[in-house]
Amino acid sequence: MAEKLLEIRNLTVGFQTDNGVVKATDRVNLTLNKGETVCLVGESGSGKSVTSLAVMRLIEYGGGAILEGDVGFKGDDLTSRSQEEMIRIRGNKIAMIFQDPMSALNPVYSVGDQIAESVMLHQKKSKKEAWKTAVHLLRLVGIPAPEMRVKQYPHELSGGMCQRVVIAIALACDPDLLIADEPTTALDVTVQAQILDLLRKLQKDLGMSILLITHDMGVAAEMGDRIAVMYAGVIVEEGAVADIFANPSHPYTIGLLQSVPGLEGARGEELYTIRGNIPSLNQLPTGCRFHPRCPHVRERCKSTEPPVFKVNSDHQAACWMYASGGDSEAWRQELEQRS
């Protein structure tokens, strides 16, 4: 049995707005095993960042609140920790990196100072030792001539180099879990690939788990052991990466795959676009949230929200098509033919 590291259960995050409370995530369930990379994918506004910020308990600083559910981390429930305790947990066991490395770095301190500060915060080391560790970490994240680079300031480094520095800072606390929210979106394509390679290598060498947030199915295919697809605050499909690509099951996932050039799901010459837009949180449709955009919609989808159904042993989808009995079989055949 794989060892569970992070277990998000029924996580509902709410925000107070002028129109009352909106739920940015609604009973999200997601498990991450030790040493595994799980990719959380979905369109803009689907609730990916909110989910990760709730895990870190940073959502409370952004005006959100955890309304329901819990976050098991190494058997501990993070939702019942105080913010003081969370500071220690965030620093020591969970690290997070974001899209824009420049905004994560302080322009007035050298990169060495910033890494060393993180080292001293987490390990009992003198300034001199911490500086040595900073050089070591820069080497670990693939920065050439680290002895020279360590003295430089963020503006003297490229965007890709800065993201490597941010990763070095994250590694200073020797995290069990790295949450990476669109870590390569702001970088150009070649640099993007290099940073993804680096994350893969670090994961293998250091044995950490990665929760990778991306809207890019190609990135998810390359990086993930498992993929969870999010739509309008709910996880609509989850499974092993090979399974999701070979046998995408939720109509939303199928649409996503068909809209990516060069992926197997994309058949024919013309790329598919999912009709319509993601609904706003204060005007969620009844029943299945995806039903107004779904090419396979049936009456039941309009009235009742589907629970999660097993597609096979390690693959599940929240779609009525996978309920047993009724006309599900015929329905699935229709889907096979149309897609």
* Residues of the shown chain interacting with ligand ATP in the complex, contacts defined by CB under 6 A: 15, 17, 24, 42, 44-50, 62-64, 215, 281
244 is in the binding site of which of ligand ATP, Ni ion, none (Cβ under 5 to 8 A by kind)?
A: none
Q: Smallest distance, Å, CB 23 to ligand ATP?
A: 9
Report the residue number, 20 or 144, with the smaller CB distance to ligand ATP. Answer: 20
Report the residue number, 37 or 118, with the smaller CB distance to ligand ATP. Answer: 37
Q: Smallest distance, Å, CB 39 to ligand ATP?
A: 13
Q: Smallest distance, Å, CB 13 to ligand ATP?
A: 8
Are residues 241 and 315 in contact, defined by beta-carbon separation less than 8 angstroms?
no
Q: What is the DSSP letter of 314?
A: T
**Helix, strand, or coil (residue 250):** coil
> For the chain, how long is the longest CA-to-CA vector?
70
Are residues 140 and 168 in contact, defined by beta-carbon separation less than 8 angstroms?
yes
Q: Smallest distance, Å, CB 233 to Ni ion?
A: 13
105 is in the binding site of which of Ni ion, ligand ATP, none (Cβ under 5 to 8 A by kind)?
A: none
Q: What is the DSSP letter of 139?
A: H
Q: Smallest distance, Å, CB 51 to ligand ATP?
A: 7
Q: Which is nearest to 83 in space by CA: 72, 91, 95?
A: 91
17 is in the binding site of which of ligand ATP, Ni ion, none (Cβ under 5 to 8 A by kind)?
A: ligand ATP
For 18, what's the count of Cα atoms within 13 Å in the CB-facing half-sphere?
Answer: 0
Q: Smallest distance, Å, CB 64 to ligand ATP?
A: 6
Report the residue number, 17 or 304, with the smaller CB distance to ligand ATP. Answer: 17
47 is in the binding site of which of ligand ATP, Ni ion, none (Cβ under 5 to 8 A by kind)?
A: ligand ATP
154 is in the binding site of which of ligand ATP, Ni ion, none (Cβ under 5 to 8 A by kind)?
A: none
160 is in the binding site of which of ligand ATP, Ni ion, none (Cβ under 5 to 8 A by kind)?
A: none
Q: Smallest distance, Å, CB 219 to ligand ATP?
A: 12
Report the residue number, 185 or 247, with the smaller CB distance to ligand ATP. Answer: 185
Report the residue number, 45 or 287, with the smaller CB distance to ligand ATP. Answer: 45
Report the residue number, 28 or 150, with the smaller CB distance to ligand ATP. Answer: 28
Q: Which is nearest to 111 in space by CA: 77, 139, 79?
A: 139
Give kind and range of the element (H or E) at residue 284.
none
Contact track, Ni ion, 20-49, x by CB under 5 A: ----------------------------xx
**Helix, strand, or coil (residue 201):** helix
Report the residue number, 100 or 117, with the smaller CB distance to Ni ion. Answer: 100
Contacts 24+ apart (CB under 8 A), 67-71: 67/12, 67/13, 67/14, 67/21, 67/23, 68/10, 68/11, 68/12, 68/27, 69/8, 69/9, 69/10, 69/11, 69/12, 69/27, 69/28, 70/9, 70/10, 70/11, 71/6, 71/7, 71/8, 71/9, 71/11
Report the residue number, 92 or 185, with the smaller CB distance to ligand ATP. Answer: 185
Q: DSSP letters along 70-132, please?
A: EEEETTEEGGGS-HHHHHHHHHHTEEEE-S-HHHHS-TTS-HHHHHHHHHHHHS---HHHHHH
Restricting to residues 264-303, name those near Ni ion by CB under 5 A: none
Are residues 66 and 13 in contact, defined by beta-carbon separation less than 8 angstroms?
yes
Restricting to residues 47-86, name those near Ni ion by CB under 5 A: 48-49
Residues at the site binding Ni ion, with contacts judged by CB under 5 A: 48-49
